[in-house]
Amino acid sequence: MSKNLEKFFTAFILLPLCLFLIPSLIFWSPQSYQQISCDLIALIMVIILNKTWLHVEVNFFSGKRPFNQFLNAIPALVLLLLTKNPFVLSIKNPVLMSFMTILMIAICEEYIYRGVLIPLSLRLTNNRLFISVLISSIGFAFAHIVNFEHGSFLVVLSQIILAFATGMLFGTLYLKSKNLSLVIVLHFISDLPLLASNGSAAVLTNSQTYGILMIVLVISLIVCLISLVQLHRFSKKSSPIM
């Protein structure tokens, strides 16, 4: 139990530590390369740890029952459509670098928080599916605390809660589909609006900020209910990810 807890904590804390510490170590590199460098280093570290110590099976792809996989992905797709708009973009330059950065973020975060952290959570909780997804989603949300360096408290808090909600649906989908590639694609789509970002954010009034926070909280509660319903009848006999 203590060994599993050590492994869990290592996977839980690794990405936030990398996002906090690595920029100061690569201060000499261009700003546009720092995000992709952090995620790449974190991904390499987790892969090495997984091969040498964690020993978690990460299911990158599954071609079984693709239609069911799509049905299970619908709640996550709806959440993305409600909270982000990947279709109306005014793409900034350089497009390729932004594209690669978003792709690396998706691969790194999904490998850590769905591929590795969910199996470790299953070991800790004796295969309690919903609790394991909940724990991994808290870890995923925790990784976004670095955004406090660049935004107001309430706005970033809303982003963290939304990340938690997204993590709940992504984690549920991974458990049911055993297809990390599908979750990576959804994560990539969710971050596509970053291509349209020009580094500035709209100025919100306090009432607008509180309103957004309340909406995100309600969405998160609904998402948790959806996740619970989806996992309720999901048989543990179907070889849960370990």
Contact criterion met (CB below 8 Å) for 175 and 129: yes
Q: What is the pTM of this model?
A: 0.86
pLDDT of residue 195: 66
pLDDT-based confidence at 120, cuts 50/70/90? very high
Unique residue bearing structure tokens 């740890």: 49
Contact criterion met (CB below 8 Å) for 12 and 116: no
pLDDT of residue 113: 96
Query: Between the CA of residue 218 and those of 65, 86, 181, 213, 241, what are the distances in Å?
Result: 32, 22, 29, 9, 30
- The closest alpha carbon to 166, from 148, 145, 187, 143, belongs to 187
Mean pLDDT of 97-112: 91
Cα distance between residue 240 and residue 232, in whole Å: 14
pLDDT of residue 87: 42
pLDDT of residue 20: 87
Mean pLDDT of 223-239: 80
Q: Is it the case that residue 89 has pLDDT exceeding 50?
A: no
